[in-house]
Amino acid sequence: MADIQLIGVVGCGLMGSGIAQVAAQSGYEVIVREVNQELLDAGMKRIKAVLDKDVAKGKINQEDYHATISRLHPTIELEPMADADIIIEVIVEQIAAKRELFAALDRICKPQTIFATNTSSLPVTEVAAATKRPDRVAGLHFFNPVPVMKLVELVRALSTSQETLFTLQQFGERLGKTVVQAQDTPGFIVNRLLVPYLLDAIRCFGEGLASREDIDNGMKLGASHPMGPLTLSDFIGLDTLYYVANVLFDEYKESRFAPPPLLRRMVLAGMLGKKAGKGFYDYPQA
Ligand code: CAA
């Protein structure tokens, strides 16, 4: 098996910072790249805030804190990625941007470097095809909040080799995650099952079946879900949910993936959920 020591994380937003943190906490040296200093500083600040809380709660000690921070190497350049063993891409969900990034990484990285995309909606096979190493590209889909969620979906593009899958499986497990493998089909496992459920909950609410609280409590207390579907939709972001639903609907053409009119109108109104301060619920602190 490949000897994995140096990890690259390209993109340090909510998901990228979580992945970089978990990788550093698992003992890897991690190069973290953002496109400008402001975004990089914001991402590093987010990581430190989560680690600070962990120290305050006694989950980690000061020594762990400093060791984790010392393993994180922030940069706004792409070149430091050249020697990485695995690079995880966590940039915007736009195929052109991802293909451009992977083609650039392909030119500068050593031939053995494995590329993984955290995409939740785009074809991993199309991303892989932008490189001259499509056998060494796969999907590695994490869940928000990354430090808490125990799952990673390992997605096999049509071109991904068995060796690449094996290395990424081991890597995911070393991060403390349970790794499930899926073929490169829209939504993989989790979003394919989760998104129709969330859309159905929005339909139920829109049709007046019950109040938002009763719908959420129904699934929280009746099915032991940590969050009800409307709270979870707000948490994911209604724009993100709308976007992923459209991708699934475009590919499968099945009505269960069709975003309900209420969701579209909430997005048009800027009611994007928790991050916007307003969605199905109000979030005064956001
Ligand atoms: N970063 C790090 N740790 C966090 C965190 C974050 N952003 N948010 C919460 N936590 C930690 C808390 O510090 C707390 O830790 P301790 O138990 O050690 O104190 C723990 O998680 C529980 O947090 P809270 O007590 O504040 O709240 P909670 O019990 O309601 O848990 C939750 C919060 C973990 C988010 C939980 O509600 C949950 O699991 N919700 C469902 C989340 C989910 O389904 N995510 C997947 C979304 S889909 C997706 O990501 C894929 C996609 O492609 C769209």
Q: What is the pLDDT along the chain (286 residues), one digit of tens a residue?
A: 578 999 999 999 999 999 999 999 999 999 999 999 999 999 999 999 999 999 999 999 999 999 999 999 999 999 999 999 999 999 999 999 999 999 999 999 999 999 999 999 899 999 999 999 999 999 999 999 999 999 999 999 999 999 999 999 999 999 999 999 999 999 999 999 999 999 999 999 999 999 999 999 999 999 999 999 999 999 999 999 999 999 999 999 999 999 999 999 999 999 999 999 999 999 997 5
Same domain, 70 and 141: yes
Q: Establish whether residue 227 lines the binding site of ligand 1, counting it when its CB lies within 6 angstroms of any ligand atom.
A: yes
Domain contains 284: no
Q: Which domain holds residue 129?
A: 6-183
Task: Name the residue with tokens 């095809």.
Answer: 129
Structural domains counted in the chain: 2
Cα(171)–Cα(210) distance, integer angstroms: 44
How many angstroms does the Cα of residue 192 sit away from the middle of ligand 1? 21
Q: Is 66 a catalytic residue?
A: no
Mutate to test the pocket of ligand 1, among 21, 148, 227 (most ligand atoms within 8 A of CB): 148
Among 165, 183, 201, where does a domain finish? 183
Q: Using an 8 Å Cβ cutoff, are 174 and 192 in contact?
A: no
Task: State the pLDDT at residue 283.
Answer: 97
How many angstroms does the Cα of residue 31 sit away from the middle of ligand 1? 25
How many angstroms does the Cα of residue 276 sit away from the middle of ligand 1? 18
Task: State the pLDDT at residue 142.
Answer: 98
pTM equals 0.95
Task: Name the residue with tokens 């993100």.
Answer: 240
Cα(107)–Cα(277) distance, integer angstroms: 42
Cα(162)–Cα(171) distance, integer angstroms: 14
Q: Is 191 a catalytic residue?
A: yes
Among 183, 209, 235, where does a domain finish? 183
Structural tokens at position 245:
């639903």
Same domain, 69 and 195: no
Task: State the pLDDT at residue 250.
Answer: 97
Task: State the pLDDT at residue 285.
Answer: 75
Same domain, 169 and 205: no
Same domain, 39 and 166: yes
Q: Which ligand 1 atom is the nearest neighbour of the CA of 194?
A: 48
Domain contains 30: yes
